[in-house]
Structure 1
Amino acid sequence: MFPRIKTTSLEAVLINTAGGITGGDDMRITAGVGAGAALTLTTQTAERAYHAQPGEVGQLQTKLNVAAGSHVNWLPQETILFQSCALSRHLDVELAPDATALLVEPLVFGRLAMGETVTQGRFHDRIVLRRNGTELYRDAMRFDGDMQAQLDRPHVAAGARALVSVIYVAPDARGQLAPLRAMLPPQAGASVIGDDLLLLRILAADAYELRRSLIPILNRLTQNCPPQNRLTQGTLPRCWMI
Protein backbone atom coordinates (compact mmCIF):
# COMPACT_ATOMS: atom_id res chain seq x y z
CA MET A 1 0.00 0.00 0.00
CA PHE A 2 1.11 3.58 -0.66
CA PRO A 3 -0.35 5.99 1.92
CA ARG A 4 -0.70 9.65 0.99
CA ILE A 5 1.84 11.75 2.88
CA LYS A 6 2.63 15.46 2.71
CA THR A 7 6.20 15.17 1.48
CA THR A 8 7.91 14.52 -1.83
CA SER A 9 9.12 11.11 -0.58
CA LEU A 10 7.27 7.84 -1.10
CA GLU A 11 5.96 5.68 1.74
CA ALA A 12 5.25 2.00 1.13
CA VAL A 13 3.61 -0.42 3.58
CA LEU A 14 4.47 -4.10 3.10
CA ILE A 15 1.66 -6.58 3.77
CA ASN A 16 2.13 -10.29 4.46
CA THR A 17 -1.26 -11.73 3.52
CA ALA A 18 -0.29 -15.07 5.09
CA GLY A 19 -0.17 -13.41 8.49
CA GLY A 20 3.28 -14.71 9.35
CA ILE A 21 6.15 -17.01 8.35
CA THR A 22 6.46 -20.70 9.04
CA GLY A 23 8.79 -23.49 7.97
CA GLY A 24 9.15 -23.79 4.20
CA ASP A 25 8.01 -20.23 3.43
CA ASP A 26 10.34 -18.24 1.18
CA MET A 27 9.70 -14.49 1.08
CA ARG A 28 11.85 -12.05 -0.88
CA ILE A 29 11.60 -8.26 -0.93
CA THR A 30 13.55 -6.09 -3.37
CA ALA A 31 13.32 -2.31 -3.54
CA GLY A 32 15.28 0.36 -5.39
CA VAL A 33 15.47 4.08 -4.70
CA GLY A 34 16.22 6.18 -7.78
CA ALA A 35 18.72 9.02 -7.89
CA GLY A 36 17.68 11.97 -5.71
CA ALA A 37 14.58 10.16 -4.41
CA ALA A 38 13.45 9.14 -0.91
CA LEU A 39 11.63 5.99 0.17
CA THR A 40 10.22 4.84 3.51
CA LEU A 41 9.42 1.13 3.79
CA THR A 42 7.47 -0.18 6.76
CA THR A 43 5.11 -3.05 7.58
CA GLN A 44 1.40 -3.12 8.29
CA THR A 45 1.95 -4.84 11.63
CA ALA A 46 4.49 -7.01 13.41
CA GLU A 47 5.89 -9.93 11.40
CA ARG A 48 5.49 -13.35 13.07
CA ALA A 49 7.65 -16.45 12.89
CA TYR A 50 5.44 -19.41 13.77
CA HIS A 51 5.97 -23.06 14.72
CA ALA A 52 7.87 -24.95 12.01
CA GLN A 53 8.02 -28.65 11.26
CA PRO A 54 11.38 -30.39 11.84
CA GLY A 55 13.83 -29.67 9.05
CA GLU A 56 11.80 -26.76 7.62
CA VAL A 57 13.16 -23.21 7.85
CA GLY A 58 11.32 -20.08 6.76
CA GLN A 59 13.31 -17.61 4.64
CA LEU A 60 12.93 -13.82 4.61
CA GLN A 61 15.35 -11.92 2.37
CA THR A 62 15.32 -8.17 1.77
CA LYS A 63 17.53 -6.32 -0.73
CA LEU A 64 17.63 -2.53 -0.95
CA ASN A 65 19.50 -0.57 -3.62
CA VAL A 66 19.86 3.15 -2.93
CA ALA A 67 21.08 5.33 -5.80
CA ALA A 68 23.11 8.54 -5.80
CA GLY A 69 21.77 11.39 -3.68
CA SER A 70 18.85 9.30 -2.40
CA HIS A 71 17.66 8.15 1.03
CA VAL A 72 15.91 5.06 2.40
CA ASN A 73 14.13 4.51 5.72
CA TRP A 74 13.79 0.76 6.40
CA LEU A 75 11.36 0.77 9.33
CA PRO A 76 9.63 -2.60 9.71
CA GLN A 77 7.72 -3.22 12.91
CA GLU A 78 8.81 -5.99 15.25
CA THR A 79 9.45 -9.56 14.20
CA ILE A 80 7.94 -11.79 16.91
CA LEU A 81 9.47 -15.22 17.39
CA PHE A 82 7.09 -17.93 18.63
CA GLN A 83 7.78 -21.29 20.26
CA SER A 84 9.45 -23.79 17.85
CA CYS A 85 9.94 -21.19 15.13
CA ALA A 86 12.63 -21.59 12.46
CA LEU A 87 13.55 -18.44 10.54
CA SER A 88 16.53 -17.33 8.49
CA ARG A 89 16.46 -13.59 7.78
CA HIS A 90 18.83 -11.50 5.65
CA LEU A 91 18.94 -7.76 5.02
CA ASP A 92 21.33 -6.60 2.28
CA VAL A 93 21.67 -2.88 1.52
CA GLU A 94 23.71 -1.37 -1.30
CA LEU A 95 24.33 2.40 -1.09
CA ALA A 96 25.70 4.73 -3.75
CA PRO A 97 28.66 6.83 -2.48
CA ASP A 98 26.49 9.77 -1.34
CA ALA A 99 23.27 7.90 -0.47
CA THR A 100 21.95 7.90 3.11
CA ALA A 101 19.91 5.40 5.12
CA LEU A 102 18.12 4.66 8.38
CA LEU A 103 17.73 0.90 8.99
CA VAL A 104 15.84 -0.65 11.89
CA GLU A 105 15.31 -4.31 12.85
CA PRO A 106 13.23 -4.84 16.05
CA LEU A 107 12.96 -8.37 17.43
CA VAL A 108 10.72 -9.85 20.15
CA PHE A 109 11.18 -13.31 21.72
CA GLY A 110 7.59 -14.21 22.57
CA ARG A 111 4.94 -11.83 23.91
CA LEU A 112 5.63 -11.40 27.61
CA ALA A 113 2.15 -9.99 28.33
CA MET A 114 0.64 -13.20 26.89
CA GLY A 115 2.88 -15.41 29.02
CA GLU A 116 4.70 -16.75 25.96
CA THR A 117 8.17 -18.25 26.15
CA VAL A 118 10.54 -19.48 23.46
CA THR A 119 12.36 -22.47 24.91
CA GLN A 120 12.82 -24.10 21.53
CA GLY A 121 13.48 -22.46 18.18
CA ARG A 122 15.92 -21.37 15.54
CA PHE A 123 16.68 -17.84 14.37
CA HIS A 124 19.56 -16.85 12.12
CA ASP A 125 19.88 -13.19 11.15
CA ARG A 126 22.33 -11.27 8.98
CA ILE A 127 22.61 -7.58 8.08
CA VAL A 128 25.10 -6.48 5.41
CA LEU A 129 25.62 -2.86 4.37
CA ARG A 130 27.75 -1.92 1.37
CA ARG A 131 28.70 1.38 -0.23
CA ASN A 132 29.58 1.26 -3.90
CA GLY A 133 30.39 -2.45 -3.55
CA THR A 134 32.62 -2.08 -0.48
CA GLU A 135 31.35 -3.67 2.72
CA LEU A 136 30.81 -1.13 5.52
CA TYR A 137 29.06 -3.22 8.13
CA ARG A 138 28.13 -6.84 8.79
CA ASP A 139 26.19 -8.12 11.78
CA ALA A 140 25.04 -11.67 12.45
CA MET A 141 22.89 -13.18 15.19
CA ARG A 142 22.23 -16.87 15.80
CA PHE A 143 19.92 -18.59 18.27
CA ASP A 144 19.40 -22.35 18.30
CA GLY A 145 17.52 -24.36 20.90
CA ASP A 146 16.42 -22.76 24.18
CA MET A 147 16.35 -19.05 23.27
CA GLN A 148 15.07 -18.06 26.70
CA ALA A 149 18.04 -19.68 28.45
CA GLN A 150 20.46 -17.98 26.05
CA LEU A 151 18.83 -14.58 26.57
CA ASP A 152 19.03 -15.02 30.35
CA ARG A 153 22.83 -15.20 30.23
CA PRO A 154 24.26 -11.96 31.69
CA HIS A 155 26.58 -11.28 28.76
CA VAL A 156 23.95 -12.02 26.10
CA ALA A 157 20.77 -10.16 27.10
CA ALA A 158 20.55 -10.43 30.92
CA GLY A 159 16.92 -11.51 30.74
CA ALA A 160 15.70 -9.11 28.05
CA ARG A 161 13.00 -10.41 25.70
CA ALA A 162 13.19 -7.72 23.02
CA LEU A 163 15.98 -5.98 21.16
CA VAL A 164 16.54 -3.66 18.21
CA SER A 165 19.43 -2.83 15.92
CA VAL A 166 19.53 0.67 14.41
CA ILE A 167 21.91 1.72 11.63
CA TYR A 168 22.08 5.37 10.56
CA VAL A 169 24.22 6.37 7.59
CA ALA A 170 24.44 10.12 7.02
CA PRO A 171 26.99 12.96 7.17
CA ASP A 172 25.68 14.05 10.60
CA ALA A 173 26.06 10.59 12.20
CA ARG A 174 28.91 11.63 14.51
CA GLY A 175 26.98 14.69 15.66
CA GLN A 176 24.01 12.49 16.60
CA LEU A 177 26.05 10.25 18.92
CA ALA A 178 25.99 12.32 22.11
CA PRO A 179 22.28 13.31 21.92
CA LEU A 180 21.26 9.72 21.24
CA ARG A 181 23.37 8.32 24.07
CA ALA A 182 21.54 10.70 26.40
CA MET A 183 18.24 9.15 25.27
CA LEU A 184 19.25 5.52 25.73
CA PRO A 185 18.00 3.25 28.54
CA PRO A 186 20.58 1.42 30.71
CA GLN A 187 20.62 -1.72 28.54
CA ALA A 188 21.71 -0.03 25.33
CA GLY A 189 24.75 1.30 23.52
CA ALA A 190 25.70 3.44 20.54
CA SER A 191 28.91 3.96 18.59
CA VAL A 192 30.15 5.52 15.37
CA ILE A 193 32.30 3.82 12.74
CA GLY A 194 34.16 6.31 10.57
CA ASP A 195 32.43 9.63 10.12
CA ASP A 196 28.99 8.71 8.86
CA LEU A 197 27.94 5.30 10.23
CA LEU A 198 26.09 5.28 13.56
CA LEU A 199 25.20 1.96 15.21
CA LEU A 200 22.80 1.50 18.09
CA ARG A 201 21.38 -1.50 19.95
CA ILE A 202 18.73 -1.53 22.67
CA LEU A 203 17.65 -4.40 24.93
CA ALA A 204 14.28 -4.26 26.69
CA ALA A 205 12.05 -6.41 28.88
CA ASP A 206 9.31 -6.61 26.23
CA ALA A 207 8.00 -4.99 23.03
CA TYR A 208 6.26 -2.16 24.89
CA GLU A 209 9.40 -1.08 26.71
CA LEU A 210 11.37 -1.40 23.49
CA ARG A 211 9.03 0.99 21.68
CA ARG A 212 9.15 3.48 24.54
CA SER A 213 12.89 3.79 23.99
CA LEU A 214 12.96 3.37 20.22
CA ILE A 215 10.23 5.71 18.95
CA PRO A 216 11.78 8.98 20.26
CA ILE A 217 15.11 7.95 18.71
CA LEU A 218 13.54 7.18 15.34
CA ASN A 219 11.59 10.43 15.41
CA ARG A 220 14.83 12.31 15.97
CA LEU A 221 16.70 10.52 13.20
CA THR A 222 13.90 10.86 10.64
CA GLN A 223 13.64 14.57 11.46
CA ASN A 224 17.37 14.96 10.80
CA CYS A 225 17.18 13.57 7.26
CA PRO A 226 17.62 16.08 4.41
CA PRO A 227 14.48 18.30 4.29
CA GLN A 228 13.08 16.76 1.12
CA ASN A 229 13.44 13.26 2.60
CA ARG A 230 11.90 13.80 6.04
CA LEU A 231 8.80 11.99 7.14
CA THR A 232 5.77 14.16 7.82
CA GLN A 233 6.53 16.36 10.85
CA GLY A 234 9.36 13.99 11.76
CA THR A 235 6.98 11.26 12.88
CA LEU A 236 6.97 7.56 12.06
CA PRO A 237 4.48 6.00 9.62
CA ARG A 238 0.96 5.90 11.02
CA CYS A 239 0.89 2.11 11.31
CA TRP A 240 3.68 2.39 13.94
CA MET A 241 1.32 4.38 16.16
CA ILE A 242 -1.60 1.92 16.21
Structure 2
Amino acid sequence: MNAQSPLKTPTAARTQPRAIGSVRVSTKTVGGHTAIDGLYQQGAAKAVFPRAARGLTAVLLNTSGGVTGGDRFDYGATAGPGTHLTLTTQACERAYRAQPGEVGRVDTRLAVQDHATLWWLPQETLIFDGCAMTRHLSCDLAPTARALIVEPMCLGRIAMGEDHVQGHFADRISITRAGAPLVMDAWTLSGGMTARMAGAAVGGGATAMVSLTYVAPDAAAHLKTIRALLPDTGGASLLTENTLVLRSLAPSGYHLRTALLPILDHLTGGHLPLCWRL
Protein backbone atom coordinates (compact mmCIF):
# COMPACT_ATOMS: atom_id res chain seq x y z
CA MET A 1 0.00 0.00 0.00
CA ASN A 2 1.46 3.31 -1.08
CA ALA A 3 0.43 6.63 0.42
CA GLN A 4 0.33 9.49 -2.04
CA SER A 5 -0.01 13.22 -1.51
CA PRO A 6 -3.08 14.89 -3.00
CA LEU A 7 -2.50 16.07 -6.53
CA LYS A 8 -1.95 19.81 -6.82
CA THR A 9 -3.50 21.58 -9.79
CA PRO A 10 -1.01 23.95 -11.42
CA THR A 11 -1.94 27.62 -11.12
CA ALA A 12 -2.10 27.92 -14.90
CA ALA A 13 -4.74 25.19 -15.03
CA ARG A 14 -6.99 27.15 -12.68
CA THR A 15 -6.77 30.30 -14.81
CA GLN A 16 -10.02 31.02 -16.62
CA PRO A 17 -9.75 30.85 -20.42
CA ARG A 18 -9.77 34.23 -22.11
CA ALA A 19 -10.81 35.29 -25.61
CA ILE A 20 -8.25 36.87 -27.92
CA GLY A 21 -9.20 38.16 -31.34
CA SER A 22 -7.94 40.40 -34.10
CA VAL A 23 -9.21 41.60 -37.49
CA ARG A 24 -7.38 43.86 -39.93
CA VAL A 25 -8.77 44.82 -43.32
CA SER A 26 -7.71 47.26 -46.03
CA THR A 27 -9.30 48.28 -49.32
CA LYS A 28 -8.25 49.28 -52.81
CA THR A 29 -9.97 50.30 -56.04
CA VAL A 30 -10.40 47.66 -58.76
CA GLY A 31 -12.20 48.64 -61.94
CA GLY A 32 -13.77 51.64 -60.22
CA HIS A 33 -15.11 49.52 -57.34
CA THR A 34 -13.94 49.04 -53.75
CA ALA A 35 -12.31 45.65 -53.15
CA ILE A 36 -10.41 43.91 -50.36
CA ASP A 37 -6.70 44.70 -50.49
CA GLY A 38 -5.63 42.86 -47.34
CA LEU A 39 -7.38 40.74 -44.71
CA TYR A 40 -6.10 39.20 -41.48
CA GLN A 41 -8.26 37.56 -38.84
CA GLN A 42 -7.24 35.59 -35.79
CA GLY A 43 -8.83 33.96 -32.77
CA ALA A 44 -12.35 34.90 -31.70
CA ALA A 45 -12.65 37.86 -34.10
CA LYS A 46 -13.90 37.32 -37.64
CA ALA A 47 -15.18 39.40 -40.54
CA VAL A 48 -17.69 38.60 -43.25
CA PHE A 49 -18.43 40.66 -46.33
CA PRO A 50 -22.07 40.75 -47.47
CA ARG A 51 -23.06 42.41 -50.70
CA ALA A 52 -23.35 46.16 -50.32
CA ALA A 53 -24.99 48.83 -52.45
CA ARG A 54 -22.11 51.21 -51.76
CA GLY A 55 -18.45 50.29 -51.47
CA LEU A 56 -17.38 47.37 -49.28
CA THR A 57 -19.07 46.36 -46.00
CA ALA A 58 -17.28 44.30 -43.35
CA VAL A 59 -19.41 42.77 -40.60
CA LEU A 60 -17.35 42.01 -37.48
CA LEU A 61 -18.16 38.93 -35.39
CA ASN A 62 -17.02 38.07 -31.87
CA THR A 63 -17.34 34.29 -31.79
CA SER A 64 -16.79 34.20 -28.01
CA GLY A 65 -20.17 35.92 -27.55
CA GLY A 66 -18.96 39.00 -25.69
CA VAL A 67 -16.10 40.58 -23.75
CA THR A 68 -15.22 39.76 -20.16
CA GLY A 69 -12.26 40.52 -17.90
CA GLY A 70 -8.97 39.48 -19.43
CA ASP A 71 -10.26 39.34 -23.02
CA ARG A 72 -8.31 41.23 -25.67
CA PHE A 73 -9.69 42.29 -29.03
CA ASP A 74 -8.14 44.58 -31.59
CA TYR A 75 -9.53 45.76 -34.90
CA GLY A 76 -7.79 47.68 -37.64
CA ALA A 77 -9.03 49.05 -40.96
CA THR A 78 -7.54 51.18 -43.70
CA ALA A 79 -9.74 52.67 -46.42
CA GLY A 80 -7.41 53.01 -49.40
CA PRO A 81 -7.42 56.03 -51.74
CA GLY A 82 -10.82 56.63 -53.34
CA THR A 83 -12.54 53.67 -51.64
CA HIS A 84 -15.62 53.39 -49.44
CA LEU A 85 -15.45 51.05 -46.44
CA THR A 86 -18.21 50.37 -43.90
CA LEU A 87 -17.58 48.43 -40.71
CA THR A 88 -20.41 47.22 -38.51
CA THR A 89 -21.16 44.34 -36.14
CA GLN A 90 -23.38 41.30 -36.54
CA ALA A 91 -25.21 42.12 -33.29
CA CYS A 92 -24.81 44.13 -30.11
CA GLU A 93 -21.47 43.62 -28.35
CA ARG A 94 -21.73 42.52 -24.71
CA ALA A 95 -19.51 43.65 -21.86
CA TYR A 96 -19.99 40.77 -19.40
CA ARG A 97 -19.27 40.39 -15.68
CA ALA A 98 -15.53 40.19 -15.01
CA GLN A 99 -13.49 38.32 -12.43
CA PRO A 100 -11.98 40.55 -9.70
CA GLY A 101 -8.84 42.30 -10.89
CA GLU A 102 -9.39 41.53 -14.58
CA VAL A 103 -10.31 44.03 -17.29
CA GLY A 104 -11.37 43.37 -20.89
CA ARG A 105 -9.87 45.57 -23.58
CA VAL A 106 -10.97 46.47 -27.11
CA ASP A 107 -8.71 48.59 -29.34
CA THR A 108 -9.68 49.88 -32.78
CA ARG A 109 -7.35 51.70 -35.17
CA LEU A 110 -8.81 53.23 -38.33
CA ALA A 111 -7.10 55.06 -41.19
CA VAL A 112 -8.81 56.82 -44.07
CA GLN A 113 -6.65 57.81 -47.02
CA ASP A 114 -7.19 60.59 -49.56
CA HIS A 115 -10.63 60.79 -51.21
CA ALA A 116 -11.75 57.72 -49.23
CA THR A 117 -14.76 57.32 -46.94
CA LEU A 118 -15.00 55.13 -43.84
CA TRP A 119 -18.16 54.49 -41.81
CA TRP A 120 -17.67 52.94 -38.37
CA LEU A 121 -21.18 51.78 -37.45
CA PRO A 122 -21.14 49.13 -34.70
CA GLN A 123 -24.42 48.25 -33.06
CA GLU A 124 -24.94 49.02 -29.38
CA THR A 125 -22.56 47.82 -26.68
CA LEU A 126 -24.58 46.26 -23.83
CA ILE A 127 -22.98 46.81 -20.42
CA PHE A 128 -23.81 44.02 -17.96
CA ASP A 129 -23.68 44.17 -14.18
CA GLY A 130 -20.15 43.57 -12.87
CA CYS A 131 -18.37 44.39 -16.13
CA ALA A 132 -14.82 45.76 -16.30
CA MET A 133 -13.83 47.01 -19.75
CA THR A 134 -11.75 49.68 -21.46
CA ARG A 135 -12.14 50.65 -25.09
CA HIS A 136 -10.10 52.95 -27.33
CA LEU A 137 -10.83 53.95 -30.90
CA SER A 138 -8.41 56.03 -32.96
CA CYS A 139 -9.02 57.27 -36.50
CA ASP A 140 -6.60 59.24 -38.65
CA LEU A 141 -7.93 61.01 -41.73
CA ALA A 142 -5.99 62.17 -44.76
CA PRO A 143 -6.64 65.80 -45.83
CA THR A 144 -9.43 64.81 -48.28
CA ALA A 145 -10.85 61.83 -46.34
CA ARG A 146 -14.37 61.50 -44.92
CA ALA A 147 -15.61 59.54 -41.90
CA LEU A 148 -18.73 58.71 -39.89
CA ILE A 149 -17.91 57.36 -36.42
CA VAL A 150 -20.73 56.09 -34.17
CA GLU A 151 -20.54 54.47 -30.72
CA PRO A 152 -23.90 53.64 -29.03
CA MET A 153 -24.13 51.92 -25.64
CA CYS A 154 -26.77 50.70 -23.17
CA LEU A 155 -26.63 49.98 -19.44
CA GLY A 156 -28.20 46.57 -18.84
CA ARG A 157 -31.28 45.11 -20.49
CA ILE A 158 -34.27 47.00 -19.14
CA ALA A 159 -36.78 44.44 -20.45
CA MET A 160 -34.97 41.75 -18.43
CA GLY A 161 -35.15 43.77 -15.22
CA GLU A 162 -31.45 44.71 -15.26
CA ASP A 163 -31.90 48.20 -13.88
CA HIS A 164 -29.03 48.39 -11.34
CA VAL A 165 -25.72 48.00 -13.15
CA GLN A 166 -22.43 48.26 -11.30
CA GLY A 167 -18.95 47.94 -12.76
CA HIS A 168 -16.35 49.88 -14.71
CA PHE A 169 -16.38 51.05 -18.31
CA ALA A 170 -13.90 53.52 -19.84
CA ASP A 171 -14.22 54.74 -23.42
CA ARG A 172 -11.90 56.96 -25.46
CA ILE A 173 -12.24 58.22 -29.03
CA SER A 174 -9.37 60.02 -30.81
CA ILE A 175 -9.89 61.41 -34.31
CA THR A 176 -7.06 63.19 -36.08
CA ARG A 177 -6.59 64.83 -39.47
CA ALA A 178 -3.11 64.15 -40.88
CA GLY A 179 -1.96 63.54 -37.31
CA ALA A 180 -3.39 66.79 -35.90
CA PRO A 181 -6.12 66.44 -33.19
CA LEU A 182 -9.64 66.92 -34.51
CA VAL A 183 -11.94 65.25 -31.91
CA MET A 184 -10.86 63.93 -28.52
CA ASP A 185 -13.63 62.40 -26.42
CA ALA A 186 -13.41 60.28 -23.28
CA TRP A 187 -15.71 59.17 -20.47
CA THR A 188 -15.60 56.72 -17.59
CA LEU A 189 -18.31 55.23 -15.37
CA SER A 190 -17.29 53.28 -12.27
CA GLY A 191 -19.10 51.86 -9.28
CA GLY A 192 -22.88 52.20 -9.35
CA MET A 193 -23.16 53.06 -13.02
CA THR A 194 -26.96 53.24 -13.17
CA ALA A 195 -27.01 55.37 -10.02
CA ARG A 196 -24.44 57.74 -11.43
CA MET A 197 -26.38 58.14 -14.67
CA ALA A 198 -29.43 59.02 -12.60
CA GLY A 199 -27.77 62.26 -11.50
CA ALA A 200 -29.28 65.37 -13.05
CA ALA A 201 -25.84 66.68 -14.03
CA VAL A 202 -24.75 63.36 -15.55
CA GLY A 203 -27.51 61.47 -17.36
CA GLY A 204 -30.83 62.48 -15.81
CA GLY A 205 -31.84 58.83 -15.49
CA ALA A 206 -30.79 57.79 -18.99
CA THR A 207 -29.56 54.22 -19.51
CA ALA A 208 -28.45 54.58 -23.13
CA MET A 209 -26.33 57.08 -25.01
CA VAL A 210 -24.52 57.60 -28.30
CA SER A 211 -21.51 59.51 -29.54
CA LEU A 212 -21.41 60.42 -33.24
CA THR A 213 -18.82 62.28 -35.29
CA TYR A 214 -19.26 63.16 -38.96
CA VAL A 215 -16.29 64.57 -40.86
CA ALA A 216 -16.97 65.66 -44.44
CA PRO A 217 -17.12 68.87 -46.53
CA ASP A 218 -20.94 68.87 -46.28
CA ALA A 219 -21.06 68.59 -42.46
CA ALA A 220 -22.44 72.10 -41.95
CA ALA A 221 -25.25 71.45 -44.46
CA HIS A 222 -26.54 68.55 -42.33
CA LEU A 223 -26.63 70.37 -38.99
CA LYS A 224 -30.17 71.78 -39.20
CA THR A 225 -31.68 68.44 -40.27
CA ILE A 226 -29.80 66.50 -37.59
CA ARG A 227 -30.95 68.87 -34.85
CA ALA A 228 -34.56 68.48 -35.99
CA LEU A 229 -34.26 64.69 -35.71
CA LEU A 230 -32.76 64.72 -32.22
CA PRO A 231 -34.83 64.27 -29.05
CA ASP A 232 -34.73 66.91 -26.31
CA THR A 233 -31.97 64.91 -24.59
CA GLY A 234 -29.59 65.23 -27.55
CA GLY A 235 -27.48 67.94 -29.11
CA ALA A 236 -25.37 68.52 -32.21
CA SER A 237 -22.87 71.19 -33.12
CA LEU A 238 -20.00 71.98 -35.49
CA LEU A 239 -16.42 71.88 -34.27
CA THR A 240 -15.32 73.10 -37.69
CA GLU A 241 -17.16 73.61 -40.97
CA ASN A 242 -16.27 70.01 -41.84
CA THR A 243 -16.77 68.37 -38.43
CA LEU A 244 -20.16 67.67 -36.86
CA VAL A 245 -20.44 66.06 -33.43
CA LEU A 246 -23.55 64.68 -31.75
CA ARG A 247 -24.32 63.38 -28.28
CA SER A 248 -27.65 61.97 -27.20
CA LEU A 249 -29.15 60.28 -24.14
CA ALA A 250 -32.19 57.99 -23.99
CA PRO A 251 -34.17 56.18 -21.27
CA SER A 252 -33.59 52.80 -22.96
CA GLY A 253 -31.87 51.12 -25.88
CA TYR A 254 -35.17 51.04 -27.76
CA HIS A 255 -35.61 54.80 -27.46
CA LEU A 256 -31.98 55.37 -28.44
CA ARG A 257 -32.28 53.29 -31.61
CA THR A 258 -35.62 54.92 -32.51
CA ALA A 259 -33.93 58.32 -32.45
CA LEU A 260 -30.64 57.18 -33.99
CA LEU A 261 -31.87 55.28 -37.05
CA PRO A 262 -33.32 58.32 -38.90
CA ILE A 263 -30.07 60.22 -38.28
CA LEU A 264 -27.92 57.38 -39.61
CA ASP A 265 -30.23 56.95 -42.59
CA HIS A 266 -29.84 60.64 -43.35
CA LEU A 267 -26.03 60.70 -43.07
CA THR A 268 -25.56 57.46 -45.04
CA GLY A 269 -28.08 58.33 -47.73
CA GLY A 270 -30.19 55.30 -46.81
CA HIS A 271 -27.24 52.87 -47.01
CA LEU A 272 -27.20 51.75 -43.38
CA PRO A 273 -26.01 48.10 -43.17
CA LEU A 274 -28.85 45.58 -43.28
CA CYS A 275 -27.92 44.05 -39.90
CA TRP A 276 -29.14 47.26 -38.25
CA ARG A 277 -32.66 46.42 -39.48
CA LEU A 278 -32.86 42.83 -38.25
- What is the TM-score of this pair, normalised by structure 1? 0.94
Aligned position for 2:120: 74
Cα shift readout 1:9-56 (whole Å, capped 9, x = no counterpart): 000000000000000001000111100000000000000000001110
Report how far residue 120 of structure 1 moved.
1.7
Cα shift readout 1:67-122 (whole Å, capped 9, x = no counterpart): 00000000000000000000000010010011000010000000111110343200
The structure carrying a bigger helix percent of its residues is: 1
Structure 2 residue 253 is the aligned partner of structure 1 residue 217: no
Aligned position for 2:106: 60
Equivalent of 2:153, from 101, 107, 124? 107
Aligned position for 2:45: none
3-state DSSP of counterpart to 1:15: strand
User: 2:53 touches 2:271 (CA, 8 Å); kept in 1?
Assistant: no
3-state DSSP of counterpart to 1:219: helix
The 5 Å alignment of 1:37-186 reads: 37-186=83-232
Aligned position for 1:227: none
Aligned position for 1:238: 274
The structure carrying a bigger strand percent of its residues is: 2
- What is the TM-score of this pair, normalised by structure 2? 0.82
User: 1:82 touches 1:118 (CA, 8 Å); kept in 2?
Assistant: no
Amino acid at match of 1:4: R
User: 1:162 touches 1:210 (CA, 8 Å); kept in 2?
Assistant: yes
3-state DSSP of counterpart to 1:179: helix
Amino acid at match of 1:94: D
Structure number with larger C-alpha Rg: 2
Amino acid at match of 1:238: L
Structure 2 residue 79 is the aligned partner of structure 1 residue 33: yes
Amino acid at match of 2:66: G
User: 1:81 touches 1:118 (CA, 8 Å); kept in 2?
Assistant: no
Aligned position for 1:228: none
Q: Note the aligned Cα RMSD (angstroms).
A: 0.8
3-state DSSP of counterpart to 1:88: strand
Aligned position for 1:4: 51
The percentage of aligned residue pairs carrying the same residue is 51
The number of residues matched between the two structures is: 231
User: 1:83 touches 1:117 (CA, 8 Å); kept in 2?
Assistant: no
Find the aligned partners of 1:118 and 1:137 in 2 and give their Cα distance.
32
Report how far residue 178 of structure 1 moved.
1.0
Report how far residue 58 of structure 1 moved.
0.1
